[in-house]
Amino acid sequence: MEKLTIRDADVAGKRVFVRVDFNVPLADGKVTDDSRIRAAIPTINYLLQNGARLVLASHLGRPDGKVSDSLRLRPVGLRLTELLRRNVPVTGDALGVGTEDAIKRLRPGELILLENLRFHAEEERNDPEFAAKLASYADVYVNDAFGTAHRAHASTVGVAKLLPAYAGLLMERELEALSSLLESPSKPFAAILGGAKVSDKIDVIDNLLTKVDMLILGGGMANTFLLAQGKAVGKSLAEPDRVDDARRILETAERKGVRVILPVDVIVAKEVTRGTEYKTLPAEKIPASWHIVDLGKASQEQILEALADARTVFWNGPLGVFEIPSFAHGTNAVARMLAEAAEKGATVVIGGGDSVAAIIQQGLADKMTHISTGGGASLEFLEGRELPGVSVLPDRAPALTETPA
């Protein structure tokens, strides 16, 4: 999937509306994880160096169309100012005379960040008038926000239909990395899926079963598969109403020759809290009053053995309650395994979400082949679904091939 990118655009002296994904965590008025901001910097720098006047736009959180002081983008503007080493003013609102004047005053090589787009309910409704107002700020549109590409909002779809539209460098990288998993993965190809609910990932599992050689399951979603095998999971997080889906997936995998790896031993705890009593048990039968919270050592070794020869790995979702350090060992061990695999030449793609947090916490981010900035978007892409924010961007024309005389 090749889209026209900013390398194809003439931006010198032009105002460029750049949809970025600065939906980052904040605490005490400061950005606590700036990875999404850093991911957009190559696109921002490229456009500035080529003489563009940038209007950056993002959402933050879910203000539901109302102004929320705790979701203002000023902390993001401050962090971006530090990273770029140039001033990034933030407007008081995405709309208004003051915003229009500030944009008109921009000179080539300067930039401004619009206030949270979702302070306006029209953003999520893809309201045509709101999109037209945003489009009036610029001559060119760039989408570098893969994390929101699965949403048909005004800033991801509406504006793109009104201006010459291009993919940013981050969007390009995301599409290349994820497309390679579906179109030309080196074999053996392993998918590791964790997180809370299997219901969120049934479609992606169905699609990946046509591509992968191995499916490794952990986290809360694995418990539903253990139920499908007739095992007790105590008070663990599970979806009994999805047992039939889990059983069907296991049968499909067997029919297609895909190896499925489920926990063989687990950490169980009396409560899912810090400081609680916990122990390791085989995954055969969990006491009725206990919770599965992590992978056991044997499960970790099983995954290590399975990944030894993998040439491509996709990982999305933690393999335990990794927010509690005592129950993060399985997730952290897999992160270290994948860093080692990548160093040995395997392609390792991390599909956004909490998996990324686990990798960043251990300082392993720079070892992975690609870390997606969009959890939900990456999963929908791997389901084979069309992403509105991607499909609206023009495709690159196929290269002409010379015909023999």
Active site residues: 36, 197, 353, 376
* Structure-token pair, residue 126: 């893809």
Identify which of 53, 15, 4 has the alpha carbon closest to the alpha carbon of residue 392: 4
End-to-end CA distance of the chain: 31
Other Cβ atoms closer than 10 A to 105: 10
Q: Using DSSP, state whether 39 is helix, strand or coil.
A: helix
CB neighbour class for 30 (10 Å; exposed up to 12, middle 13-18, buried from 19): exposed
Other Cβ atoms closer than 10 A to 292: 30
Beta strands 291-295 and 265-269: pairing type? antiparallel
Give the neighbor-by-neighbor strand order of the sheet with 214-217. Answer: 259-261, 214-217, 189-193, 312-316, 347-350, 370-371
Q: Give the CA radius of gyration of the chain.
A: 23
